Amino acid sequence: QKTYGGELDEEILKLIRQRQTARKDKDWALADRIRDELKEKGVEIQDTQKGVKVLVDNKGTKKVYTV
């Protein structure tokens, strides 16, 4: 599925959306748990003023997406 200028696994995208909702609701503990779960899957999240930057480690090559 093409989303946000690139391809992201649907499961990863779902977790990112859940994390965004948790942050919006100020549920920081849940947002942190989701961030940690994503990190275990090789996905790094960086919150920026322009949105969320998603770095996916793909066999040593990082792909960057903005959500």
**Other C-beta atoms within 10 Å of 52: how many?**
17
Tell me, what's the pLDDT at 6?
Answer: 56
Asked if residues 57 and 66 have their Cβ atoms less than 8 Å apart, the reply is: no
Give the tens place of pLDDT for each residue, 12-64.
Answer: 999 999 999 999 999 999 999 999 999 998 899 998 888 888 988 777 777 88
Domain boundaries, the chain: 2-66
Could you give the CA distance from residue 30 to residue 59 in angstroms, rounded to a whole number? 28
Helix/strand/coil for 41: coil
